[in-house]
Structure 1
Amino acid sequence: MENKNISYFKAKPGSGLKGFSLIMKTLTVLLFVLPGLAYSQTAVPLDSLKADSLKGEIQYDIGDLIKTIFQKGNKKPSLASEKSGLTIMPSIAYNPSIGAQIGIKVVGGKVLGDDPNTYMSVAATSASITTKGIIYFYLSHNAFTNGNTWNFQGSLVAAKTVTPDYGLGIGAAIVGNEADLALNNPDRVGRVLHGQFYNFREKAYKQIVENLFFGAGVSFDIRRKIEDRSSSTDLTPYHVYSDRYGYDRDHYMANGLLFNIQYTNRDNQNRAFKGIYADAGFRINQSWMGSSKNAVQFTTDFRKYWSLSKRNPEHVIAFWNWGSYLVSGSLPYLELPGTGKDAYFRSGRGYTVGYFKGPQYFYSEIEHRFPITRNKFLSGVSFFNIQSTNDDMGTKLFDKWQPGGGAGLRVLFNKATRTNLCLDYAFGKYGARGFFLGLNEVF
């Protein structure tokens, strides 16, 4: 299972462009009109919230709901500062490719140090198993030392995976030979790749000046026992690409050095109300580190948040752009950037992981986040995204775009860390649509 944050996804052909056009028009209205109506009907008193933080304010989260149900007496909601920064929840999901999933997920947050300007450190771990025998474990962290002198970001993944595959490129029609057509897969016929996946990534950032960090690290991506069980022919996207670029069909490694520069002044790493996050860097895969091929990638990640209200700072417009561009060499097929291939597997709602992919990839998304209830227990979002990529058959980056969008509900899971339970329903082209479930905002 590649995307640990997807609860349910179904790609169903036959919706047609007219239906999609109507959906996009509807979403455009939702993006700006419906949130405004919900907000105007649930406004809270002017002095009930601080302009830039909810810390110390009375809020209602799932922990308070449980206390209300199971404890006698009228239990009042606690202050955000009184709450534990640890959230434990079952990890339950269903996907036609993986079956039913059950597991456990833990998300935590804590400020490490006495300096009042220190950013909150966050960490998460999850272990799950599915009815089809898929096993997935991950551990991730984003930690800031006192005064933000150092920032450590890393993850560890071990999995027996099922990876959906829809071919190379952005779905543009091409003229080519039989192998080119199989690789491009213009009809987006879905396949499934089985295998084992192991990843270790760690980066250390040093603060140069306030909010500006320089970082370096390593990443090891290892895949074993890769199988395309959906077809007995060699004319599948994975087989054609692997043979064309000289990769073993059964296994490969993509191991490299990471060099990044980062700027961040977000007020919270889980759910920002204001600020900027920007990261740009190079990944240099090296054969002397065990990588199957040498390659140089340039990646960018930019996020901006505008709070629209002083009395309700969680009423936010958020923008995200993520890109990855191959500078030299080649990448294994399953390591190509694409839909849902960002660091946290959250991009491209409306499509499954890897639905569009290529050596050069560009993605942008805008989201409107708005409060629903006075006690902050429920809020909502509406969002719209676009993506573009190139392929081997003549389609260049930005030649064609694929849109997606939808709306969702947020349930305040832990007010101390601003952790939300996120439930989204999203649409894409080719009849793609699905339900997405996860902890913490998508970006």
Structure 2
Amino acid sequence: MPRIFAVIAVLILCCRSFGLRAQNPTGTLVPPDKLVDDTTGQRDIIGIALKVTHIHIKKTPKVRGQRVYYSVIPLGSSIPGGGEALITSTNAAFMLGDPKNTFLSNVTFSPSTNLRGEWNIPFRSNIWSPGNRWNYSGDYRLTFYPQFTWGLGGNTAPSDKILVRYTYIRFYQNFLRRIANKPYLFAGIGYDLDYHIHIRPKNDSIDITKFTGYKYGTGNHTNSFSSGITFNLLYDSRNNPLNPLPGWFYNAVLRVNPKILGSQTNWYSLYFDARKYLSFDPDSWNVLAFWSYLWTTMGSNAPYLDLPAITWDANQRSGRGFYPSRYTGRTLWDFETEYRRSITRDQLLGFVVFGNMNSVTEPGTSQFAYLHAAAGAGLRIKFNKHSGTNFCMDFAASKGYWSLYFALGEAF
């Protein structure tokens, strides 16, 4: 659908026009007096809890002379495949260098289980070396949660679905180096591994290959293994990914999965991500954010569970209001926007309203033919003012589906 690609082009051009204004030949973040957050007058859950309980704790530990700010919270939520889960989300945020030229690093660990033999153990990291010379990002997961699938395309009936079980191992690691004299531009390589073990339907009378009409990685009681090298180009002028300040973000990832590295088929993918953040008041939380990404396998024979699917972006935070993997195709496009605003002057409470839309290519024509939309709103509670971490509670709905979402840190 040409209109979709026109929207993508306009978004890219808009982001580029804003990004050019952020250039700074000195190599420091722009402007340092605005980006180094002053927490004076702010309140957070941790501070309130300590005051109420009269607990006195020592200063937070240091990493290379810098403070480490922890956010830990247990909560419950619905899970893919049905049922409820117990989730504990832990985030550690820290700076390894001078805040004037070093972004905030963070690691996240969010294990979950429904206490019935289904679980998810994810660990993510985004580390910035002193002076932002290097960026190291990782995504490691061990998962056994069943997933519904509706097959390929954007016109599948809500009730026409099957439950697929498998154990999933993911290992992603990237190494990016700052390009000389470009304070926000990085390039590098990485390695991605996706291993789906013992793929099977809930009912053995169902043939996954026949149901999906896709022959790669869909055999009952089989495994799917993908191993590939990634080539990465990143432009990031945000200094806090947990709660992005004004700035913009581009990320392009070309993934090559040859049989020589163990992949069952030779396949390729391209992931392009663009985001823009506009602040209307530098002294309060008043931000309009935009996000769009295009994810395509470029017609190659990627295994079914590695195909682009809504909610399966790099951080699994897209598509609020859609069931995970509700729409799957060889190419997926997603656009989201969110308005974020403080309710109280101390920024303890805030709210967001958001909307998103997506489309996947059809299996027969490889064209975008259907557009799907969702919308929602959420409450924000400042959990840790030093790292800018918010506790997020969102409600989102699309046609025939709704869900509640809980997380530490903004969706994008």
Instruction: Tell me which interval the TM-score lies in, with the shorter structure as reference length.
Output: 0.7 to 0.9
> 1:320: which partner in 2?
291
Which amino acid is 2:116 matched to?
A: K
> 1:280: which partner in 2?
252
Which of 165, 168, 171 is residue 200 of structure 1 equivalent to? 171
The offset of 1:221, in angstroms, is 0.2
How far apart are the structure 2 equivalents of 1:327 and 1:97?
Answer: 29
> 1:295: which partner in 2?
267
Q: Against the structure 1 CA distance between its residues 72 and 134, is the aligned structure 2 distance closer, same or farther, given a 3 Å change threshold?
A: closer
The offset of 1:335, in angstroms, is 1.2
> 2:59: which partner in 1?
none
Unaligned runs of 5+ in 1: 1-49, 74-81, 172-184
Is 2:67–2:95's contact at 8 Å kept on the other side of the alignment?
no
How far apart are the structure 2 equivalents of 1:103 and 1:149?
Answer: 35
Is 2:199–2:219's contact at 8 Å kept on the other side of the alignment?
no
Higher relative contact order (CA 8 A, sep 6+): 1
Q: Against the structure 1 CA distance between its residues 84 and 150, is the aligned structure 2 distance closer, same or farther, given a 3 Å change threshold?
A: closer
Q: Against the structure 1 CA distance between its residues 155 and 233, is the aligned structure 2 distance closer, same or farther, given a 3 Å change threshold?
A: closer
How far apart are the structure 2 equivalents of 1:210 and 1:96?
Answer: 40
Which amino acid is 2:195 matched to?
A: I
Alignment of 1:155 with 2:139, yes or no, is yes
Matches within 5 A, 1:364-375: 364-375=335-346
> 2:402: which partner in 1?
433
Matches within 5 A, 1:56-205: 56-71=39-54, 85-95=69-79, 97-114=81-98, 116-171=100-155, 185-205=156-176
How far apart are the structure 1 equivalents of 2:122 and 2:321?
Answer: 24
> 1:22: which partner in 2?
none
Q: Against the structure 1 CA distance between its residues 401 and 61, is the aligned structure 2 distance closer, same or farther, given a 3 Å change threshold?
A: same
Residue deviations 1:79-104, cap 9 Å, x none?
Answer: xxx98511122243234734332243
> 1:79: which partner in 2?
none
Is 2:355–2:373's contact at 8 Å kept on the other side of the alignment?
yes
Is 1:384–1:405's contact at 8 Å kept on the other side of the alignment?
yes
SS at match of 1:416: coil
Is 2:154–2:360's contact at 8 Å kept on the other side of the alignment?
yes
Is 1:247–1:292's contact at 8 Å kept on the other side of the alignment?
no
The offset of 1:410, in angstroms, is 0.8
Residue deviations 1:23-62, cap 9 Å, x none?
Answer: xxxxxxxxxxxxxxxxxxxxxxxxxxx8555324221111
Q: Report the count of equivalent residues.
A: 370
Alignment of 1:410 with 2:394, yes or no, is no
> 1:210: which partner in 2?
183
Q: Against the structure 1 CA distance between its residues 98 and 134, is the aligned structure 2 distance closer, same or farther, given a 3 Å change threshold?
A: farther
How far apart are the structure 2 equivalents of 1:116 and 1:224?
Answer: 46
Is 1:151–1:206's contact at 8 Å kept on the other side of the alignment?
yes
SS at match of 2:298: strand
Is 2:187–2:233's contact at 8 Å kept on the other side of the alignment?
yes
How far apart are the structure 1 equivalents of 2:184 and 2:239?
Answer: 12
Residue deviations 1:355-380, cap 9 Å, x none?
Answer: 01100110000100011111111100
The offset of 1:111, in angstroms, is 0.5
How far apart are the structure 1 equivalents of 2:163 and 2:80?
Answer: 11
Unaligned runs of 5+ in 2: 1-32, 57-65
How far apart are the structure 2 equivalents of 1:69 and 1:345?
Answer: 36
Once the two structures are aligned, what percentage of the paired residues are identical?
Answer: 27
TM-score (norm 2): 0.84
SS at match of 1:244: coil
Q: CA RMSD in A?
A: 2.4
> 1:266: which partner in 2?
238
How far apart are the structure 1 equivalents of 2:236 and 2:55?
Answer: 44
The offset of 1:281, in angstroms, is 2.2
Alignment of 1:388 with 2:356, yes or no, is no
